[in-house]
């Protein structure tokens, strides 16, 4: 497989540390609020990467943290802990907020067919590991104490700016207006490994440490959780592009200073989902969540399909028009799949050729839109339906678009005639009861139901394809 590696800024052959095995680490969500669909774009593309590697025969182990402490509103280690902000907003404890939004995140993932990583570790579970790493960094001269906090000293590294060869003065560490820089830092890009109460008195979650009661910085959690579960050599580290600097840069700095050798070989960064008015936000404008899309009548898998139509290394513009187009394309695709009959014997050589095309698309730096084209190719191929279905079923192990199931449902619906499901279960049940009454020649009951529906503002039209409901 060829994979673009942010570390080298090149497409490279993917070669894992151990033949046939892949260790992947994913930066998990900060659980202070719902995930927006931009966050979920990143998790969808990471899910495709993981599933393709499995499909290709690798044994994959993937670990992910849940950020429930230490991620501040400013990447420059200033501002408030996002978790504290969430707890204040909802007048709940941090642990209540963390549990609620962790569950909400995995519920969104379930709806989007994003597989749960093999290992999921909340940051608050690993305090002992952070203390071990920070102690060694202090002992080895990579860290210093200032103003009660422990900082990583970036000047001690031979190379720090690995992803973006920036000039130092061009570096912006995301200091927001109104939030001052941290004057304890010896170098502006140094970062906090451990905060103590001397800086944040009102931090709700605090732990004992050799440097006083406090809590860990955000970056140290990912290094420790990855090393704890995946060992000291990682194959692929994933995340959204905003995490490349400073988060991932700092992860590399502290992990390699701690381990004394190279840590992770491939860095997989997903570009952002953006809206017409710019960045996605959880506080300004429309807060785009999976539930919001559902409330507007979109199946979450339409959003997954929309994401797969584009390459992960291009930023993607979200609009409802674009989503509508994805919905039309998805519906057409699944209805063609639903029309296939499971007939004939699978032609193994055709199946292998179809799979080769699909595999070549994803092996080319995860070209998901070409992988979707491979589904159309299978539909068009001059072969029997059983072979087409076998190919599409196999592709869907990676695409996870429920192509066969949704296709089946679409064909059942088409056979049944008109679909009134948009009016809700109660109305559909009443329409069915009226049809049953008419079939039984119980016209009095049938008329009674029609009148009741009419009082509810629903009028019925009897068409050759079936009964069509309309709002009066
Ligand atoms: P957070 O919950 O803020 O820690 O972010 C979770 C994941 O979403 C991280 O991998 C981020 O890099 C990623 N992310 C944040 N904003 C976007 C966006 N607009 N589009 C795609 N990914 C994003
Ligand atoms: Zn991380």
Q: Angle between the 443-455 and 425-439 helix axes, to the nearest 10 degrees?
A: 160
What is the position in ligand 1's atom list of the atom closest to the CA of 31?
2
Same domain, 374 and 396: yes
Same domain, 383 and 439: no
Same domain, 171 and 318: no
What is the position in ligand 1's atom list of the atom closest to the CA of 273?
20
Answer with the one of 371, 394, 416 that is the final residue of a domain. Answer: 416
Tally of domains in the chain: 3
Distance 463 CA to ligand 2 centre (A): 57
Same domain, 401 and 455: no
39 lines ligand 1 (CB under 6 A): yes
The predicted structure's pLDDT at residue 418: 76
Instruction: State the ligand closest to the CA atom of 27.
Output: 2
Residue 14 placed within a domain:
yes
Distance 280 CA to ligand 1 centre (A): 9
149 lines ligand 1 (CB under 6 A): no
Answer with the one of 238, 270, 302 that is the final residue of a domain. Answer: 270
- How do the pLDDT tens digits run along the chain, 472 residues long? 999 999 999 999 999 999 999 999 999 999 999 999 999 999 999 999 999 999 999 999 999 999 988 777 777 677 778 888 888 888 998 899 999 999 999 999 999 999 999 999 999 999 999 999 999 999 999 999 998 899 999 999 988 877 765 444 444 444 444 445 778 899 988 999 998 865 556 677 889 999 998 889 889 999 999 999 999 999 999 999 999 999 999 999 999 999 999 999 999 999 999 998 877 888 777 899 999 999 999 999 999 999 999 999 999 999 999 999 999 999 999 999 999 998 889 999 999 999 999 999 999 999 999 999 999 999 999 999 999 999 999 999 999 999 999 999 888 877 777 778 888 888 889 998 998 898 888 999 999 999 999 998 888 887 766 788 888 7
Q: 226 and 25 in contact (C-beta within 8 Å)?
A: yes
Residue 275 placed within a domain:
no
Residue to mutate, 35, 42, 46, ligand 1, most ligand atoms under 8 Å from C-beta: 42
Residue 277 placed within a domain:
no
Instruction: State the ligand closest to the CA atom of 244.
Output: 1
133 lines ligand 1 (CB under 6 A): no
Same domain, 327 and 191: no
The predicted structure's pLDDT at residue 201: 61
The predicted structure's pLDDT at residue 178: 41
Q: How far is it, in rounded angstroms, from Cα 393 to Cα 141?
A: 55
240 lines ligand 1 (CB under 6 A): yes
Same domain, 184 and 324: no
The predicted structure's pLDDT at residue 198: 52
Same domain, 318 and 386: yes
243 lines ligand 1 (CB under 6 A): yes
The predicted structure's pLDDT at residue 420: 82
Domain coverage including residue 355? 285-416
Same domain, 186 and 323: no
Q: Give the Cβ contact number of residue 234 at 10 Å.
A: 24
Same domain, 324 and 439: no
Same domain, 259 and 382: no
Residue 280 placed within a domain:
no
Residue 276 placed within a domain:
no
Same domain, 347 and 244: no
CATH number, domain at 319?
A: 1.20.120
CATH number, domain at 103?
A: 3.40.50.620
Same domain, 241 and 138: yes
67 lines ligand 1 (CB under 6 A): yes
Answer with the one of 225, 245, 270 that is the final residue of a domain. Answer: 270
The predicted structure's pLDDT at residue 398: 98
Residue 194 placed within a domain:
yes
Residue 131 placed within a domain:
yes
Residue 26 placed within a domain:
yes
What is the position in ligand 1's atom list of the atom closest to the CA of 82?
3
């Amino acid at each position: 497989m060829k994979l673009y590696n942010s570390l080298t800024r090149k497409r490279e052959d993917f070669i894992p540390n151990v033949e046939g095995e892949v260790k992947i680490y994913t930066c998990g969500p900060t659980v202070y609020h719902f995930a927006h669909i931009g966050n979920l774009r990143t998790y969808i593309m990471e899910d495709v990467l993981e599933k393709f590697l499995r499909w290709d025969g690798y044994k994959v182990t993937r670990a992910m943290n849940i950020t429930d402490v230490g991620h501040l509103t400013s990447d420059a280690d200033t501002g408030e802990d996002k978790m504290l902000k969430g707890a204040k907003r909802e007048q709940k404890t941090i642990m209540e907020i963390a549990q609620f939004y962790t569950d909400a995140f995995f519920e969104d993932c379930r709806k989007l067919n994003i597989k749960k990583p093999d290992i999921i570790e909340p940051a608050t579970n690993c305090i002992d590991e952070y203390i071990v790493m920070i102690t060694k960094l202090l002992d080895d001269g990579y860290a210093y104490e200032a103003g009660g906090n422990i900082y990583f000293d970036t000047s001690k590294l031979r190379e720090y700016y690995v992803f973006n060869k920036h000039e130092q003065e061009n570096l912006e560490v995301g200091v927001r207006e109104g939030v001052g820089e941290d004057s304890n830092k010896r170098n502006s890009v140094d970062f906090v490994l451990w905060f103590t109460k001397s800086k944040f008195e009102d931090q709700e979650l605090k732990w004992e440490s050799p440097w006083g009661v406090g809590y860990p910085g955000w970056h140290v959690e990912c290094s420790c959780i990855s090393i704890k579960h995946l060992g000291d050599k990682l194959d692929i580290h994933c995340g959204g592009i905003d995490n490349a600097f400073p988060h991932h840069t700092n992860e590399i700095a502290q992990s390699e200073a701690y381990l004394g050798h190279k840590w992770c070989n491939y860095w997989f960064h997903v570009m952002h989902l953006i809206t017409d008015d710019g960045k996605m936000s959880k506080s300004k404008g429309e807060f785009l969540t999976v539930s919001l899309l559902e409330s507007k009548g979109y199946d979450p898998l339409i959003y997954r399909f929309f994401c797969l139509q584009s390459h992960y290394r291009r930023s993607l513009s979200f609009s409802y028009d674009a989503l509508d187009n994805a919905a039309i394309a998805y519906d057409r695709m699944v209805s063609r799949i639903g029309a296939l009959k499971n007939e004939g014997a699978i032609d193994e050589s055709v199946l292998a050729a179809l799979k080769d095309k699909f595999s070549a698309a994803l092996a080319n730096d995860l070209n998901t839109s070409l992988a979707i084209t491979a589904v159309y190719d299978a539909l068009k191929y001059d072969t029997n339906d059983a072979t087409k279905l076998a190919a599409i079923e196999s592709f869907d192990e990676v695409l996870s678009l429920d192509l066969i199931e949704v296709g089946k449902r679409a064909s059942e619906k088409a056979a049944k005639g008109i679909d009134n499901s948009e009016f809700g279960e109660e109305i559909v049940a009443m329409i069915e009861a009226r049809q049953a009454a008419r079939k039984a020649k119980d016209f009095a009951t049938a008329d009674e139901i029609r009148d009741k529906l009419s009082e509810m503002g629903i009028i019925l039209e009897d068409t050759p394809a079936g009964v069509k409901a309309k709002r009066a």
